[in-house]
Amino acid sequence: MTEAAFRETTAEPRTQSVPLSHLSLELGHLYMEDFEAGPHRLREHFTQVRPWVEAARAAAAARTGGRRPRISTCFLIDDYFTRFSSPRELVPLLLAEADRAGLRIDYLARESGCAVTGKVPVAQAVAARIVESPPPGSYGNRPPAAQTGWLANGERSPVARAPQAMKPATAWQPPQETAARRHSVFLDVELWNDDADGHRTWSCPFLAAVWQLARLGLLRHEGEPLFTPDAHTGQDFPDDWDELPSLVRLNARADPFAAYRTCSVLPNRFLPVEHAVRVVLDQTEVDTAALRQAAERSAREGVPVPDSVADRVSYVFYAGP
């Protein structure tokens, strides 16, 4: 006798897929002091970005075997750590200077959206997915990142202890990178800090890691995609940053925001931040269904992605002013 098993369909969460370009190309990630410096700073930035954008486009075309690659461009504005001016004044200036350099920004994002999008605490959700890689020979004597707010790519130096009776003092030992190649490049990343009132401020590297996951189309909340763009209606931008959506599509004909791979053209002062981003991505357990969707679709197109999420991210760093 065959027994039939019945289950509620709602008990099987479905991970919704998202449209994917071949490349998400970031044209900038500047802070408020850059905007405060005036139009000439933006002009200088886009002038230096332009040649590398062309190179990134050519590399994407080569990866697709000469077929027209789907490439979307984006720009991230820091409205999380500081607030300056307003979207009404700043965004048209930004778009004008990009256009002057022959560049088009398809999508505009707010960094505060990497912390909270709508009612979803995105950063908190990503933090809950951090799975630390224990260094070889470690004994669990280091508090977890969820407790300390610090994430390392290896084993820290042991804390020096005063000698006890009949026992020698603890000898100094160097930190050790887990995946070191001959020599270690050890990095300890601050993910957040809490003030006396318990208010949490996420670090720039951690929000940048969330930003990369968004651009790779790997963020989900209860199966639904996060960072879905809102179309700009063509009206004036709002006076308050909180009234601007986390992600705005400025170009109605743009290729999808999320992509199989990302490339960011940034001033070289961002290099330490992006090193920290890789440490975070290497130890974050990403939604498996979203990973599978991207892997299967890219393989069908003949442009398979690396298994490592961090290896899907690339950069061009230029010498800043």
| Token representation of residue 224 | 């639904």
Q: State the average pLDDT over residues 287-293.
A: 95
Q: How many CA atoms lie within 13 A of 199 on its CB side?
A: 3
Percentage of the chain lying above the pLDDT 90 cut? 70
- The pLDDT of residue 230 is 95
Q: Is the pLDDT of residue 106 over 70?
A: yes
Indicate the pTM of the whole model: 0.90
Please write the tens of the pLDDT for every residue from 183-212.
999 999 999 999 888 899 999 999 999 999
Query: In whole numbers, what is the pLDDT of the chain averaged over residues?
Result: 89
* Lowest pLDDT segment from 47-56, 175-184, 243-252, 259-268: 175-184
Domain boundaries, the chain: 15-128+196-318
- The pLDDT of residue 193 is 94
Please write the tens of the pLDDT for every residue from 36-93.
888 999 999 999 999 999 999 999 999 998 889 999 999 999 999 988 889 999 999 9
Q: Is the pLDDT of residue 159 over 70?
A: no
Q: If DSSP states are collapsed to H, E and C, what string results for the chain?
A: CCCCCCCCHHHCCCCCCCCCEEEEEEEEEECHHHHHCCHHHHHHHHHHHHHHHHHHHHHHHHHCCCCCCCEEEEEEECCCCCCCCCHHHHHHHHHHHHHHCCCCCCEEEEHHHHCCECCECHHHHHHCCECCCCCCCCCCCCCCHHHHCEEECEECCCCCCCCCCCCCCCCCCCCEECCCECECCCCEEECEEECCCCCEEECHHHHHHHHHHHHCCCCEECCEECCCCEECCCCCCCCCHHHCCCEEECCCCCCCCCEEEEEEEEEHHHHHHHHHHHHHHHCECCCHHHHHHHHHHHHHCCCCCCCCCHHHEEEEEECCC
* Lowest pLDDT segment from 135-144, 227-236, 240-249, 262-271: 135-144
Q: State the average pLDDT over residues 308-313.
A: 97
